[in-house]
Amino acid sequence: VIPHHRTLSFQKEYYHGIFRFRFWRFGEWIEVVIDDRLPTINGELIYVKSKTKNEFWSALLEKAYAKLSGSYEALESGNPGDALVDFTGGVSERIDLVEGDYHNNLEKKKLLHVKLSKLMSRKSMISASIQVQNRDEMELQMDHGLVKGHAYSILAVKKIKIGNDHISIFNANRLFMVKLRNPWGDTEWNGPWSDGSPQWNLLSAQEREKYGLVNENSGEFWMSFGDFCKYFTTVTVCILVNTSVISFNKTYHEGSVKSKWEGKSAGGCITNKETFLNNPQFCFDMTSASKDEVFISLMQPDTRSKRVSGKGENLTIGIMLFKVEANRIYRLHQYYDQAGDSHFSNAREIFVRFDLDPGRYVMIPSTFEPGIFGYFLLRVYTDQNNAFRQLTEDAPKPGCCPFLPWCAPPHIQVSIIIKSVNNLKNIGATSLNPYCIIECNGLTLYTPIVYDSLNPTFDYGGLFYLSKQVKPMLKIQVWGSNTLIPDTFLGEIISTIVVKDKTVLEMHTLMERSHGGRVSRANGTISFKITASNKLTFM
């Protein structure tokens, strides 16, 4: 945001009163140039100011941001998450402490403390606030010293050992603390662990210094995490997503695209069953061996510069997520199992995080009402390469020579989703690591390996397109993965595919491979969903 100090010169012969700032807006860094004149009343800065009288960087930054937003007025009652994203290019996550009932739920409180501590260690910027119910409550100071409507900076999240069990909220001999700063620096928390409170006597001076628990009157103060969850209503996190290829810190793989809802593609939310699947569709892969986390951000353009004239209301937007076949490259035409969703909101940015199994997923961002035009920026962050892309085609197109047998166009669409395998028998191995191979008329797909399980759940499958010239056949084999010796065959099923335009859940007993026309039962059963249609856009 702020140019390096070495590029600035305040020597009289070089100084021209010009300052340049950079802000991230809707996927791009925008330069804003301002002069050095700042608004004052009676010689005092009106807006942001520093306690150090000759320090002006914050006021200059605010002026540049106001210019970008259209006016100083446009910055009033702004969202701290939006501002931090504009300064950093990160993603903003909002945690509702009231809706999540963190104060009364001990387990959720513990997980939140761990989460915030991890975010702090990764250089995320975090603030907390107390929501106002009406304009009269704005900047209302409460009995315990906290002020409604202010965005308090979170400076530290600590877990320390002490000798008194009775003041621990989670575990014996543990104290969970959070350090905050009042943005105005003139009022502080006056409850337990505030400046001068008797709780400080429970720690020696050496312990306070060791953990950085300094008691000083500077607008900064400490609270127990229990009180923090009790009195604050909202936590806003700006996650600085590191996408650098070479880094010692946690890195992510990013996928991003700008698109729009327009005409037929403005299908509205999922309650509009006839039009929802007309919305833009995007897919990504989760390639880790087990469940892994994904961040998804849906953003619409900033409209603050238009609000002064009574225009520029945000759209109500949200995201739906579906798990699909692992090899799907065409748009959805039927509803699949829902893997996650967001709340619909008129916020500038919608952020969600999910823990997802390996496989391919389709995201559908939408406005709440159909027929609403709007632009959006969609970003996805995963630990592994995610092959993020937009799905634009509805079905495969005929080849250049459809009259040739080997170029015969597809006429049948087949979806196979393996749900689970049960009652396998471990044959001599210390543990069984099963996986499946799906074969459909010469087309093959492997499922991920499920480690150490006799009853593995897969929920994984493929989408196949077949020509009329072949009889649709299905073969599914179950194998046990080994490290030093060849994989172990565990059983298979072979079946003719019946084309009947509906989804059927089938269960089969696994069989041994045929030897001289004789087939015997193997151990275990397999269940899978199969859909076959003569319409290439049925699914």
Q: What is the DSSP pairing of strand 281-286 with strand 503-511?
A: unpaired
Q: What is the mean pLDDT of residues 413-440?
A: 91
* Tens digits of residue pLDDT in 138-158: 888 899 999 998 899 999 999
The mean of the pLDDT values for the chain is 88
| pLDDT at residue 398 is higher than 80 | no
Q: How far is CA 146 from CA 129, 190, 421, 524, in A?
A: 9, 8, 56, 62
The pLDDT of residue 523 is 82
Give the model's pLDDT for residue 312.
Answer: 72
Q: What's the pLDDT score for residue 136?
A: 82
Tell me how far apart the alpha carbons of residues 498 and 530 are, in angstroms, rounded to a whole number: 9
Most confident of 190-199, 304-313, 491-500: 491-500
pLDDT, position 165? 46
What SS3 state is found at 109? helix
Cβ atoms within 10 Å, residue 13 = 6
Residue 413 makes CB contacts below 8 A (sequence gap 6+) with 395, 463, 464, 465, 531, 532, 533, 534, 535, 536, 537, 538, 539
- At which residue do the structure tokens 């992510």 appear? 252
What's the pLDDT score for residue 166? 45
Predicted TM-score (pTM) of this structure? 0.88
